[in-house]
Amino acid sequence: MDEQLKSELRRQGVVATSLQELYNWGRKSSIWPLNFGLACCAIEMIATTMARYDLARFGAEVFRPSPRQADLMIVAGTVTKKMAPQVVRLYNQMAEPKYVISMGACAISGGPFKQGYNVLKGIDRYIPVDVFIPGCPPRPEALLDAFLMLQRKIDEQQLTGPERPRHLQAEQPSEFIVPQYSEHDLIPTRNDTIWHAPLVNISNAGANESGRD
């Protein structure tokens, strides 16, 4: 429907909409996050929900303590290898449609602890992530921005056609492999169906840097 006609109608007190708009509006305006934090970033997440930043303005004030009632997992903090299976299991237990915000350097890549013996190098190795927020920790404004970005993303989704979201495609998985503990590392170390190592050229790394021989 023509946008101009729509706003004209609205002025006359008639609201015209489509099922898709209504559906997306409903989804994006009631994203309930899972009540779940892992490390220092969680403190910023908590601050975001409090009166000063007030995440409630965007319809996400209800932090659910059960994955069954949550739509959004904010992975806020360092994911240790010991915790990673539990994080994936919580994600698997959430009902579709579900979204993930990976908050902070740790959840993105391992952050300051990337080479640590017990730190997962990014939660996107096991579960699909919708929005990444860099920062250590990201400010509450950054989390709000990520939240608005997620809302925009939901708003743009088509309900039909090949581009429709995952939860409307019956053949797409909604559960992902839960890694197992083993003698030296988690098995598997990553889910190859959703994570691929980005191509990086390391042949020049370490050279041309002043102060180095």
Which amino acid would we find at residue 20?
A: Q
Closest to ligand SF4 by CB, 111 vs 122, is 111
Residues 6+ apart with CB under 8 A from 141: 53
Which amino acid would we find at residue 168?
A: L
CB of 141 to ligand SF4, least distance (A): 15
41 touches ligand SF4 by CB under 6 A: yes
Helices (H), the chain: 3-11, 19-28, 40-49, 84-93, 104-109, 140-155
Choosing from 1, 136, 148, 187, the residue that interacts with ligand SF4 (CB under 6 A) is: 136
82 binds, among ligand SF4, another protein, none (CB under 5 to 8 A by kind): another protein
- With contacts defined by CB under 8 A, name the span among 62-70, 136-144, 168-176, 178-186 that binds another protein: 178-186
**Radius of gyration of the CA atoms of the chain, in A:** 20
Specify whether the CB–CB gap between 102 and 108 falls below 8 A. yes
Residue reference for tokens 């039909």: 160
Specify whether the CB–CB gap between 70 and 107 falls below 8 A. no
CB of 133 to ligand SF4, least distance (A): 9
Closest to ligand SF4 by CB, 39 vs 154, is 39
Residue reference for tokens 């989704």: 157
Site for ligand SF4 in 98-117 (CB under 6 A): 104-106, 111-112
CB of 75 to another protein, least distance (A): 18
Pairing of strands 186-187, 180-181: antiparallel
Specify whether the CB–CB gap between 101 and 130 falls below 8 A. yes
- With contacts defined by CB under 6 A, name the span among 33-41, 47-55, 57-65, 188-196 that binds ligand SF4: 33-41
Choosing from 18, 29, 66, 118, the residue that interacts with another protein (CB under 8 A) is: 118
Binding site for another protein (CB under 8 A): 81-82, 109, 115, 117-118, 121, 181-185, 189-190, 197-202, 205-206
Binding site for ligand SF4 (CB under 6 A): 39-41, 77-78, 104-106, 111-112, 136-137
